[in-house]
Amino acid sequence: MLEGKKILLGISGSIAAYKTAAMTRLFVKAGAQVKIVMTPAARDFVTPVTLATLSKNPVQSQFIKGDKGEWTNHVELGLWADVLLMAPATANTLAKMAHGICDNLLLASYLSARCPVIVAPAMDLDMYAHPATQANLKIIASFGNSIIEPNTGELASGLDGKGRMAEPEEIFQFVKNYLNHSAELNGKQILVTAGPTYEHIDPVRFIGNHSSGKMGFAIAEELANKGANVILIAGPSQMQLKHKNITRIDVQSADQMLKASLKHFKKADIAILSAAVADYTPEIVSAHKIKKSGATMQLKLKKTIDILKELGLLKTKKQLLIGFALETENEVPNAKKKLVAKNLDFIVLNSLKNKGAGFSVDTNQVQIIHKDGKINKFGLKAKSAVATDIVDQLIQIIHA
Ligand code: CTP
């Protein structure tokens, strides 16, 4: 089930640490190799001897071992692992992970790990609900880490609420699913565009749009988690991503995005264009800041090149091309027209009419329209879950 998989388990100081013994056993029984790093505080909750015995590997928690000056190589631990599982992750450890604080061996291993990271938080309900913890979780997720949400139930404090770390069996299933799907897109080269474009008017002004890049970044991450090599061409976006399979190319304008896309499409097996590219750009970009003058001013715009359409013309039989459509009326017929006009394999339709869908929000509701006319409708979901649906459709086409 997990033969040959290497799991680095990072335990921080929470009462939920007692669950790591059962979790370690599940992983080892399934054939995985498990190495464990504990924070000093975690040793108060579960003993290294128990975990070393169950994992069949020495447990690490110090930079320097014994009194002979022997150094623990945290970089090696991070490179060894197929996945780093931070469970339990306390409020304190989450805060440090979000801000790059590195005051113990576990955090050093986390910062130097190149593998995917899965985080299972555990804490009291008010600590979990605190805006600081929620903000830290958002930051951690924005780095491309996966979060296993805690359960609601009885807590060590005697209170009842959300903060109980997921059960060993739930975490085991999550990690197993994650690792077993991690090779589905191995060897595939995939181009993704994301975010808005900025079209310069003069040195200080531009025409932009409200796209945050969240959808495209979530797709890039999902593809990378399934083993693809992703070239992510991103317009200006606050989003951050850390994944060894993703190469990010930052661009500003539609023209720059076009040039980067043309360059990388040749070697791509698949391209997914989710960027909100400007349809028009100023005809002339002023070299100097435009001075205020009359009561009105006119800006002459010229059409940009439709990147998706260009790639549709260049597409070979071996390549797959996926686009997005953002519609406010006649959604399905309009999206179908775009699918045909741009030579796509499927198109993801966003409707701005759906509450919670579209720009800047964390959720989206989409329909996927295939070139054979088949339509898959999905409910309102987190953008990461929408990304999973889109990538699953892609995998079905590849395996058809
Ligand atoms: N697109 C692109 N290059 C452009 C414009 C759009 O690659 N210059 C891509 C987008 O990334 C998206 C798809 O085309 O995948 C559809 O974008 P959308 O704005 O919905 O449609 P348009 O084709 O621009 O048509 P309209 O604005 O008239 O609806």
All structural domains of the chain: 6-181 (3.40.50.1950), 189-282+298-398 (3.40.50.10300)
Q: Which residues pair with 119 in a beta bridge?
A: 86, 147
Q: Is 275 in the pocket of ligand 1 (CB under 6 A)?
A: yes
| Protein residue with its CA nearest to atom 20 in ligand 1 | 325
Taking the centre of ligand 1 as the mean of its atom positions, its distance from the CA of residue 212, in whole angstroms, is 16
* Ligand 1, pocket-test mutation among 215, 279, 337, most atoms within 8 A of CB: 279
Taking the centre of ligand 1 as the mean of its atom positions, its distance from the CA of residue 360, in whole angstroms, is 18
- Whether omega before 88 lies within 30 degrees of 0, making that bond cis, reads yes
Taking the centre of ligand 1 as the mean of its atom positions, its distance from the CA of residue 307, in whole angstroms, is 8
Tally the C-alpha atoms within 13 A of residue 228's C-alpha that lie toward its C-beta.
25
Q: Who's near 248: CB < 8 A, 6+ residues apart?
A: 232, 234, 241
List the structure tokens of 164.
Answer: 């109980």
Taking the centre of ligand 1 as the mean of its atom positions, its distance from the CA of residue 306, in whole angstroms, is 7
Tally the C-alpha atoms within 13 A of residue 162's C-alpha that lie toward its C-beta.
9
List the structure tokens of 119.
Answer: 């985080």
pLDDT tens for the chain, 400 residues: list them: 899 999 999 999 999 999 999 999 999 999 999 999 999 999 999 999 999 999 999 999 988 877 777 777 878 898 999 999 999 999 999 999 999 999 999 999 999 998 889 999 999 999 999 999 999 999 998 888 999 999 988 888 888 899 999 999 999 999 998 898 888 999 999 999 999 999 999 999 999 999 999 999 999 999 998 999 999 999 999 988 877 789 999 999 999 999 999 999 999 999 999 999 999 999 999 999 999 999 999 999 999 999 999 999 999 999 999 999 999 899 999 999 999 999 999 999 987 777 777 676 778 899 999 999 999 999 988 888 899 999 999 999 998 8
Q: Is 306 in the pocket of ligand 1 (CB under 6 A)?
A: yes
Which of 57, 73, 151, 209 is flagged as catalytic? Answer: 209
Tell me what pLDDT residue 360 has: 64
- Does the annotation mark 209 as catalytic? yes
pTM for the predicted model, two decimal places: 0.78
Rounded to the nearest 10 degrees, how much is the dihedral formed by the CA atoms of 189, 118, 77, 95?
120
Taking the centre of ligand 1 as the mean of its atom positions, its distance from the CA of residue 190, in whole angstroms, is 19
Q: Is 308 in the pocket of ligand 1 (CB under 6 A)?
A: yes
* Ligand 1, pocket-test mutation among 324, 331, 347, 352, most atoms within 8 A of CB: 324
Q: Is 304 in the pocket of ligand 1 (CB under 6 A)?
A: yes
Q: Is 216 in the pocket of ligand 1 (CB under 6 A)?
A: no
Q: Are 143 and 238 in contact (CB under 8 A)?
A: no
| Protein residue with its CA nearest to atom 8 in ligand 1 | 306
Tell me what pLDDT residue 391 has: 96
Taking the centre of ligand 1 as the mean of its atom positions, its distance from the CA of residue 279, in whole angstroms, is 7
| Protein residue with its CA nearest to atom 21 in ligand 1 | 325
Taking the centre of ligand 1 as the mean of its atom positions, its distance from the CA of residue 297, in whole angstroms, is 27
Give φ, ψ of 60 to 5 degrees. -105, 140
Tell me what pLDDT residue 78 has: 87
Q: Is 273 in the pocket of ligand 1 (CB under 6 A)?
A: yes
**Which string of b and e fits 200-233 if b means at least 16 CB within 10 Å?**
ebeeebbbbeebbbbbbbbbbbbbbbbebbbbbb
Helix 19-29 vs helix 48-55: angle between axes, to the nearest 10 degrees? 10
| Integer Rg of the chain from CA | 24
| Protein residue with its CA nearest to atom 14 in ligand 1 | 308
C-alpha distances out from residue 148 to 129, 189, 254, 270, Å = 15, 28, 37, 30
Q: Are 246 and 230 in contact (CB under 8 A)?
A: yes
User: What single DSSP character describes residue 274?
Assistant: -
* Ligand 1, pocket-test mutation among 315, 326, 336, most atoms within 8 A of CB: 326
Tell me what pLDDT residue 199 has: 98
Give φ, ψ of 147 to 5 degrees. -115, 130
* Ligand 1, pocket-test mutation among 259, 308, 339, 342, most atoms within 8 A of CB: 308
C-alpha distances out from residue 257 to 104, 122, 229, 311, 332, Å = 41, 42, 19, 12, 27
Alpha-carbon span 168 to 139, nearest angstrom: 25
List the structure tokens of 326.
Answer: 């953002």
Q: Which atom of ligand 1 is nearest to the CA of 193?
A: 11
Taking the centre of ligand 1 as the mean of its atom positions, its distance from the CA of residue 231, in whole angstroms, is 20
Q: Are 210 and 234 in contact (CB under 8 A)?
A: no
